[in-house]
Amino acid sequence: MSRIFLDDAGSAPVLPEVREALRNLPEGNPSSPHADGRAARAALDRSRDLAAQAIGADRTEITFTGSGTEAVNLALFGAARRLPQRGAVVTWAAEHQSVLGAARRLQSEGHVVEVARVDGSGRADPDDIPSSATLVSIGLANNEVGTIQPVAAIIARAHQIGAIVHVDACAGPRWIPIPDGADLVSLSGHKLGAGRGGILFVKDGVKLDPLIYGGPQEWGRRAGREDVAAATAVAAALHACSRDRTSRSGVAVRQAASLRALLAELGGVPTGGESPLPNFATCAFGDRRGEDLLLALDLAGVSASSGSACASGSLDPSHVLLAMGLSLDQALGSLRLTTGYATTDDEITGAEAIIRSALARTPARA
């Protein structure tokens, strides 16, 4: 039996467009003057132009990174270290650990950091941005429950008081557009279907301190030999997602709605609010262990994930779900099902039968 992949939010399968783009890549160093180096430089330039076109940016605003986490860190450390320490770095309690981890480190360096609360669906409130803010970081959408954040309103509020805005768009751009106006936007290749790489959009005029020092690569923002293959992959994936976003979202909405209805029927408490990302079906079971559910599904051929964080083979309660006000038992019994570009209706039907059977076989928590 073929496996059914319902963990697109964990890491999206590599797109056909990416595989095609990676064929016959030049192997030279883009900084070398010989023919192979010039070919590599041309491939890198094409990828930068393609990525810029996909998000409506100028090519000089595109910086290729090794991952989404690196893009987030470059944005936050790079911007904060240029700003007065007396100003506040503001984010929210349900943000990705790459954002929260960077915020904690900035706090240890002497920056004022404020982590605001979220509501029961994980949604941030623009009114939580204090007038002292100099740097604000918000996710496009929550990677665990799919909650779409009021990014446009947060950008407007932050700019009103003169703060720089970073949008963590590692989750969501396959399905929804990135609102205009952000100063910094981080993107993750493996979440887009590239399998590798990352991008940081840096608005013209925004200055960053680099994380990696050395040569002048990536406009002086990231030293080191450019990874042409990663840049090619992430640019091709971003372009494909931007092109196909609308047509793909309609299918995802229908498939995820069917999964959400099943989870509710089986007693799962919905998470993520009324209108999460189109491909998200998430819930929490207060009487089941997410770890047991995932194992039962995996053995039956369905790849899914939990909102909890896996560490050393065990599941710890998700900081996102706890920030949303769920109980410890609910946080430990969470389930995240996310469809992808290649998910078929037959796979949804098959997965629903497996989920029903797996839940029946999973013992209640003692």
Residue 188 has phi, psi (to 5 degrees) of: -115, 125
Task: For the chain, count helices (H), then strands (E).
Answer: 11, 14
Taking each helix axis from N to C end, the angle separating 228-265 and 35-55, rounded to the nearest 10 degrees, works out to 30
Write out the two tokens for 235. Answer: 């640019």
State the helix-helix crossing angle for 345-361 and 290-299, rounded to 10 degrees.
120
Do residues 122 and 146 lie in contact, with contact meaning Cβ atoms separated by under 8 Å?
no
Active site residue 310: yes
Catalytic residue among 170, 241, 283, 310: 310
| Separation between Cα atoms, residue 103 and residue 256, nearest integer Å | 33
Structure tokens at 98: 């790459």
Half-sphere exposure of 134 (CA within 13 A, CB side): 16
C-alpha span between 161 and 108 (Å, rounded): 25
Q: Which of 283, 308, 289, 276 is nearest to 358 (CA)?
A: 289
Q: Which of 100, 107, 97, 106 is nearest to 77 (CA)?
A: 106
Q: Of how many residues is the chain composed?
A: 366
Q: Which helix (H) or strand (E) holds 12?
A: none
- The separation between CA 20 and the C-alpha centre of its own chain, rounded to angstroms, equals 24
Catalytic residue set: 310
